[in-house]
Structure formats: structure tokens, C-alpha cells
Amino acid sequence: MDLAGKKVIITGVSSGIGKSLVEQYLEKGSIVCGLGRTDPTISNVNFTFLKTDIRNFNEVEHSISKFLKNHEGIDILINNAGMGSFGPVEDYSIDEIHEMFETNVYGTLYTIKLAVPIMKLKGRGHIINISSTAGIEGYPQVSVYGATKFAVKAISQSMYKELRDFGIKVTCVYPGSTKTDFFKNIDAIVPHDYMLMPKEVASMIVQATETSDNFHQVNIEVRPLRPKGPAK
Ligand SMILES: NC(=O)c1ccc[n+]([C@@H]2O[C@H](COP(=O)([O-])OP(=O)(O)OC[C@H]3O[C@@H](n4cnc5c(N)ncnc54)[C@H](OP(=O)(O)O)[C@@H]3O)[C@@H](O)[C@H]2O)c1
């Protein structure tokens, strides 16, 4: 699919994978709308930022309605906004558990709930959900974050079967460790250059949305080649 002029909504655009996605879709000539709490201050006529806390359904609804007043339809929705911390479940406060689920799972469901009827009207669309390798397998200290990312996988696996007959593609992306601000709340891991780079994950996603109309990539698992550096 030619991405020029396509309408793309991306959540969580202030840094990391989301910011790289905005830059790469703008390079392709897409019309990009970023929903998030922090404005990435990208100056481009094809970019709009709408301040939105993804955990708040009313804010998400308001932003998507605002976008639709100026643009007809949504071609691509990328559920990228997310956060995480690692540790034993018993050390988490209930508020911290809720925050992670509200951001990573509820936020994803909110945008999907609003975008799917719009995509169904057009008989086409592509939803990308960002899970994690922690949404494929369990890791110690990753029970809470992993639970949210397994949920994102569950949403994606159900929705691709539910939506494909309507011409809507659903792709779930499972990145391994990526050098972003994600690790700001995780003292045990210091981001380094053997991790994936956000622009590499973003370019895999952009490519997935360029595929021809008759197929979709259901799962994209992408991991660093040498996560701990060269073998010694
Ligand atoms: N980095 C990794 O190793 C890795 C691996 C697998 C999957 N992922 C996933 O990849 C996605 C992107 O993360 P990243 O690595 O690029 O980290 P990042 O640089 O921290 O980006 C996360 C983005 O989400 C936004 N966000 C967080 N809470 C939000 C909220 N309540 N409402 C709106 N926006 C919110 C953040 O902006 P504000 O805080 O300014 O709102 C930021 O723009 C996340 O879903 C993450 O779980 C990351």
C-alpha cells in the first residue's frame, strides 16, 4: 500500500518507537496524528499532536473525534503508548498495577473500540498493537508487565480473526529490548547499543503497513541479534 496521504493515528509519540514512527510515516507522506501526554514538537504540516492520556476514555474519544472532523477516516492505528516496570508482584502497589493495565491494555482497547467502526465503514484499515517478547513468554520479575503484554497479544489474536473479513488487518508486534526511555523505571537494565534501535522497530512496522491488500502479517517478533554483545 502506498502510504502517501494515508491517515495514521499513533499513540505515545514523545519518544522511542512512537517518535520514530511519526518521523518515518511523515517521510512517506502520510497524514499523522499523535495522541499522547507529551508533545514531541515535530513541525510538519502533515502532523497533528492531540494531548491525550490514553488511560482516559473520554480524552481518547475527544481526540479521535477531533481528528475525524478534519480528516475522513483512519487508515492505520498504531497502539504504541505503553509503560512498564519490573519486580515481584508482592512489591507492587495496587495503583501501580492498575496504571500498567490502564495504559497498556485499556488504552489499546479504547482506541480500537473507536477506530474499528470507522474502518468498517470504509471496508479497510490496519491496526498495529505493540506487545513485547514479554507477551510471548514469561520472565522473572516481569509478571505484571508480562500480563499486560499477553493481554495485548490476546486482543490482537482475537481481533485479526474477527476483522479480516471486513478488510481490516491486525498485526501484533513483539519487540525485544529496544534502546528507549522505557527503561527509565527499571534500574536493573541500562540501555545499550546491542539492543534494537527504535527506528529499526518502527521501520518493520512501516513495512508491514505497506503490504498488498490480500494479506497481513499477523505477528512480528523482532529481537536483537546479539543482545549481550559478541560471544567471548
Ligand atoms: N523498549 C523496549 O525494550 C520495549 C520492548 C518491547 C515492547 N515495548 C513497547 O513499545 C512501546 C513503546 O515504548 P518505547 O520503548 O518506545 O518507550 P518510551 O520511549 O518510554 O515510549 C513510550 C511512549 O508512551 C507514552 N505514554 C506512556 N503512558 C502514556 C499515557 N498514559 N498516555 C499517553 N501516552 C503515554 C510516552 O509518553 P509520555 O510518558 O510523555 O506520555 C511515550 O511517548 C510500549 O508499548 C512498550 O511497552 C518496548
pLDDT digits (tens, 9 = 90+) for 39-65: 999 999 999 999 999 999 999 999 999
How many angstroms separate the CA atoms of 95 and 83, rounded? Answer: 14
Atom of ligand 1 nearest to the CA of 173: 7
User: How many angstroms separate the Cα of 143 from the Cα of each of 12, 138, 218, 225, 231?
Assistant: 23, 7, 24, 25, 29
Whether 224 lines ligand 1, by a CB cut-off of 6 Å, is: no
| H-only helix segments in the chain | 16-27, 57-70, 94-101, 107-122, 143-163, 198-208
- Residue in 25, 145, 160, 174 annotated catalytic: 145
Long-range contact list for 186-190, CB < 8 A, 24+ apart? 186/84, 186/85, 186/86, 188/86, 188/141, 189/86
| Lookup: cell for 32 | 499523522
Whether 18 lines ligand 1, by a CB cut-off of 6 Å, is: yes
Q: Residue 71: is its pLDDT beyond 90? A: yes
Give me the CATH code for the 7-222 domain, please: 3.40.50.720
In the chain, the amino acid numbered 220 is: I
Q: Which of 198, 204, 150 is nearest to 178 (CA)?
A: 198
pTM of the predicted model as reported, rounded to 2 decimal places: 0.98
The burial of 57, by beta-carbon neighbours within 10 Å (0-12 exposed, 13-18 middle, 19 or more buried), is given as middle
| Lookup: cell for 40 | 514531541
131 annotated active-site: yes
- What are the extents of the domains in the chain? 7-222
43 annotated active-site: no
pLDDT in tens, 93-136: 999 999 999 999 999 999 999 999 999 999 999 999 999 999 99
Atom of ligand 1 nearest to the CA of 17: 16
| Lookup: cell for 84 | 512498564
Atom of ligand 1 nearest to the CA of 196: 3
Band of residue 229 on the pLDDT scale cut at 50, 70, 90: confident
Whether 100 lines ligand 1, by a CB cut-off of 6 Å, is: no
How many angstroms separate the CA atoms of 136 and 151, rounded? Answer: 10
